[in-house]
A and B are shown apart, each in its own frame.
Chain A
Amino acid sequence: MAKGFDIDHLAKLARLNLTAEEKVLYSNQLTHVLTYFETLAKADLPVNSDVALVVTEKALRSDEPGMSLGSDAVTKIAPASHDGQISVPRVVDDES
């Protein structure tokens, strides 16, 4: 089982900034954990797996409007809002 990983790539995928110290720490710890995971690579495992724990025949609800929080409650817990809408840093640059 391959256990090599690129910590910079992983951090980028996970949207995390890591300090140089954290990169070393997490690399070492993850290598240790992944080595332990090698028992999975050696195991004789079924090809077809069924991991459904509950019957989910009714997993989809009918397509009707349901309860929601409302914009006041939502904007109240948002980090920043303006005129009943959540605001974020500019996504699209000005045309220039």
Chain B
Amino acid sequence: MAEEIYQLSATEISSRLAAGKLTSRAVVEALIVRYHQLNKKIGAFTSLDEKDVLAQADASDARRKAGKVLSPLDGIPVAIKENIAVKGQPLTCSSKMLANLVSPYDAHVVEALKSAGAIIYGRLNMDEFAMGSSTENSAIQKTFNPWDLACIPGGSSGGSAASLASGLVPLALGSDTGGSIRQPASHCGIVGMKPTYGLVSRFGLVAFASSLDQIGPMARTIADCELLLKVLATPDARDMTCFDSTQRSQLPVATEKSLRIGIPKGLLGKGVGAEVAAATQAAIDFYKSKGATIVEVDLPSSELAVPTYYVVATAEASSNLARYDGVRYGHRSANAKTPIEMMTNSRSEGFGPEVKRRILLGTFVLSAGYADAYYVRALRARSKIRAEHLAALEKVDMILSPTVPTPAFKVGEKVSDPLQLYLEDIFTIPANLAGLPALSVPCGKSGHLPVGFHLVGAPLSESKLFAAAQLFESAHSFANQQPTL
């Protein structure tokens, strides 16, 4: 059977566009047909301006005809998570609070994509304000896992992962505060990277927990993910944590020397599903067969990662979300006579349950009498977790684990037990706490559901992670598997 346009990788589309075998308009038209066939079923996109994306495609085709191609991404659609600003488009964060907000400006990453000629293609569903691991917390709609529509796609970038897995778009942006790119990537059988903290500007990303948030690329193949990251990772003075050109010039490059891979002590023990453990072990065995040295690494503070993360992230969220007061933008309650009533009623009407829960938790861990016991201790634990990871990464090139302990669960299964849902992030959180780059790579199935393995590297070692993942992808067929829809 001939490959359909919606099945093509971005790299393949790029080479067909360059060879004149395909036009950007043909790509976009094929994806719009696919969107009409599937989006209601999957719920990945919250909006798609068809007229606008066709106009962008025509502009790209005209540039190509005039010999003015801007980059390998010129004419390729990239879908954007609902918490990243695109001028003139909704910026809802999948919340009632921002239901009517149209962004007056572009995020840095959107500017970078536009400069590269990419087509800014539709908005993707997410957990409200990126708080969640299942995309069930969206106030707009639910998103379902394309591999099993009874299951969650993961979250919070669930719309991004589901859109890629179902062939609705070849590239997507997500954001990752504790695993929000990598966990849905694993659940949907696609590739997702959280870059080193500071590599990609967050200007125009709606803040959740500022010391943890990163924007990152999501794709169906390693090469596509790397291609997208190259466009995103440029200096930007508007995000003070974003590396400048000098810092970027120190970026290490992948070398040919033998890989050293660290495996955390006791990794595949408690809580990891048997088939997830088997798929991870098979990935370890693969690297061993390719000459990699496998070394056990000790990360004793890993058990502190989940509580540390939920203290730090909720504390920062309670502060960041204080801006939603009904004054300057977002929902304003119609039932308020005083400024205090306006703030309290607007917030109570605009925020959903998980956001309220995290604001309350963050308010508590920062409150007088409790901040030392929770927030300050969490900062100390974070420091210890980071030190242990950096020490381990002196001895090995990267640390390998499952991305998520178990495959995607049924929609509604964990709604009433937030703690169970928080434990989904046990393998992904340390990379955020330590500011390290991390990548989820599809590596098999648990039953009919995809699972991924997770690579974490030293700061700015993205190219090493991509090279190792490419070695695995080239020897396996997981990147080409697509669900029957």
- Which A residues are closer than 8 A to B by beta carbons? 1-2, 5, 7, 10-11, 13-18, 22, 26, 29-30, 32-34, 36-37, 39-41, 43, 45-47, 49-51, 53-56, 58-61, 69, 73-74, 76-80, 86, 88-91
Contact = CB atoms under 8 A, between A and B. Distances in A.
B462 to A, nearest CB: 15
29 contacts: A10-B363, A14-B318, A14-B356, A17-B345, A22-B356, A29-B357, A29-B418, A30-B360, A30-B361, A30-B364, A33-B361, A36-B306, A40-B304, A40-B307, A49-B384, A51-B383, A53-B241, A54-B197, A54-B241, A54-B435, A60-B240, A61-B240, A69-B104, A77-B101, A77-B102, A78-B328, A79-B332, A86-B327, A88-B339
Given A13-B363, A36-B419, A49 B379 contact: yes
Given A15-B344, A26-B356, A79 B307 contact: no
Nearest to A14: B363
A50 B326 contact: no
Interface of B: 101-102, 104-105, 197-198, 211, 237, 240-241, 243-244, 247, 301, 303-304, 306-308, 310-311, 318, 322, 325-332, 336-345, 347-348, 351, 356-357, 359-361, 363-364, 367, 369-370, 373-374, 377-384, 386, 418-419, 422, 434-435
B240 A53 contact: no
Nearest to A37: B307
B198 A54 contact: yes
Interface majority SS on B: helix, strand, loop or mixed?
Answer: helix
A51 B466 CA distance: 27
Contact of A89 (B243, B339, B367): B339
B329 A40 contact: no
Given A46-B384, A77-B329, A78-B328, A41 B377 contact: yes
A47 B42 CA distance: 48
Contacts of B339: 88-89, 91
A46 B310 CA distance: 19
A61 to B, nearest CB: 7
B360 A26 contact: yes
A55 B247 contact: yes
Contacts of A73: 104-105
A49 to B, nearest CB: 4
B175 to A, nearest CB: 16
Given A49-B384, A73-B105, 6 more contacts: A10-B363, A11-B360, A15-B322, A30-B360, A49-B380, A53-B434
Which of A5, A30, A54, A59 has the most B CB atoms < 10 Å from its CB? A54
Which of A45, A56, A60 has the most B CB atoms < 10 Å from its CB? A45
A58 B344 CA distance: 37
